[in-house]
Structure formats: C-alpha cells, structure tokens
Chain A
Amino acid sequence: MKFGIVVNEGPYQHQASDSAYLFCKAAIEKGHEVWRVFFYHDGVNNATKLTEPPQDDRNIVNRWSRLAEEHGVDLVVCVAAALRRGIRDENLASGFRISGLGQLVEAGIQADRLVTFGD
C-alpha cells in the first residue's frame, strides 16, 4: 500500500515527528511504500541541517534524510510555512525539498492512505 504522511510539529518539542518516523519505518519494513512525507506548520523545522542534538540523543533530521536516501521517500517541506520560519534551500538537510502546498493535496490524491501526525 502507498502511504502519504503529514508532520505538523517540529522535532524535539513534540513527539509527532518521532511517531511519524517510527510509523514510516514500520510501514517500509512491512513492504509498504511511503510515497511522500509532507512537513507543514512547525513541522518544517524537521528539515534544517543546522540541527545539532546532544551526542546521546537521536538525530531526528538525519533520520529523515536517511529514510529518503535508503527508501526513496519524498520529503517535502511547505514553502510558505518554511519561509515564515527561516527554512530555506541554504539550510535544507539532504533528502528534503521545498515545494508548494499542492504537494500535500497531491499526496492525498495519490496515496492509498494519508496519516497526519501533529499536536
């Protein structure tokens, strides 16, 4: 089955991004496809490569980047939400791309299921 995922909260502040990641990982392990993850609201903060968590903590941003690299997951950051919050191409982590809200609607149309994680 083809999944679309929406992440509405930033990393470290709220569990939403962790839950979304663990859901994606489990879906891929079960042989499903995670077609696109759309980052909206403060969720766009998952995409900054300037993130530097302490050594003993998980690296949420890198974890998403790896998912894109290893499984071809399309990580899309909403442009309007990103610009509002200082996320731009210059500080975008690998595997992410900035695009319009149409990408979220398209995920709703193309995916068999769209699952939202937020506050």
Chain B
Amino acid sequence: MSEESIKKFMFVNRKAPYGTIYALEALEVVLITAAFDQEVSLAFLDDGIYQLKKGQQTKGIETKNFSPTYRALEGYDIEKLYVEKESLEARGLSEEDLLVDVTVLSRAEMGNLMEEQDVLLSF
C-alpha cells in the first residue's frame, strides 16, 4: 500500500459496554482496521471509559466478556489508546482501574488530536 493511502483512523468510544452492543461491534471494526495498515487510534470519552474497567464478570448476564480483547490490541500493533482525563475523574476512576495502558489526555489535547484525524468513526 502506498504512503498516500495511509489514513489516520480514530475510533471514538463514548458508550458503556453491555447496555448496548456498540462497544463490542466497535471493537470488531478496530480489529479489522488493523489488517489494512492504517494509522489507528482509539479514544475513550464519557461512558466509553467504562469499556476499559478492570474486573468485568459477565457470567451472570450470560453475555460474552469482550474486555480481554482490549489487551490483545497491542498484538495487532494498535497501541494508541487515549483516555480523556475529565471523563475518567468524573467516574471516580484512575489509570490503575483500567485493564490496559492508556495515554491520559486533557480535553483540549483530545480535541486537537481529533482535528488531526482523517477518518473518525463513532458507534
């Protein structure tokens, strides 16, 4: 694939897992995108941060626990995971509560990062 056709894809996650299917199906797109040699990043804002909460146990709701997949992203060369600081704090969470390593950004830094993208997908 030529240089020109590499685009910056950002997946913007603003929804909590399980209550709706969006988080799971968004993750499925992320995995596919990895195969296209694009520049991929994931942004977590608002309730989307809950997708990354450690210790998810879904047996009782008879739903697949897809949270381990976030840890597998590294293996697909998807290492840019950004979390918005105010959203994290508003939920009483810190980086230690998350199941993967993330980069914590201020609102303005997140806004600037969005500006730089070619394709923004949110579900």
Q: Mark B103-123, 1 if CB is under 8 A from A, else 0.
A: 000000000000000110111
B22 within 8 A of A: yes
B41 within 8 A of A: no
Q: Give complex CA distance A104, B25 in Å.
A: 12
Residues of B within 8 A of A83 (CB): none
With A8-B123, A108-B9 as contacts: A101 and B22 at CB distance below 8 Å: no
Q: Give complex CA distance A51, B123 in Å.
A: 24
Q: Mark A87-119, 1 if CB is under 8 A from B, else 0.
A: 000000000000011101110110000101010
B119 in contact with A101 (CB, 8 Å): no
CB proximity to B under 8 Å, residues A23-75: 40-41
A20 within 8 A of B: no
Q: Give complex CA distance A40, B21 in Å.
A: 11
Of the candidates B25, B118, B119, the one whose C-beta lies within 8 Å of that of A40 is: B25
Q: Give complex CA distance A48, B71 in Å.
A: 36
**Among listed B28-36, B53-61, B73-81, interface-contacting one:** B28-36
Of the candidates B22, B32, B36, the one whose C-beta lies within 8 Å of that of A41 is: B22
For chain B, which range describes its interface: under 10, 10 to 19, 20 to 34, or 35 or more residues? 10 to 19
Residues of B within 8 A of A77 (CB): none
B25 in contact with A116 (CB, 8 Å): no
A6 within 8 A of B: yes
For chain A, which range describes its interface: under 10, 10 to 19, 20 to 34, or 35 or more residues? 10 to 19
Q: Give complex CA distance A102, B38 in Å.
A: 12
Q: Give complex CA distance A8, B20 in Å.
A: 12
With A40-B123, A116-B121 as contacts: A104 and B22 at CB distance below 8 Å: no
Of the candidates A80, A106, A108, the one whose C-beta lies within 8 Å of that of B121 is: A108
B5 within 8 A of A: yes
Residue of B nearest to A106 (CB): B36
Q: A102-B36, A109-B38, A114-B121 are in contact. List 11 more A-B contacts (CB 8 A).
A: A8-B22, A40-B29, A40-B123, A41-B21, A41-B22, A102-B32, A104-B32, A105-B36, A108-B119, A109-B119, A118-B123
> Which residues in A have some Cβ–Cβ distance to B below 8 Å?
6, 8, 40-41, 80-81, 100-102, 104-106, 108-109, 114, 116, 118
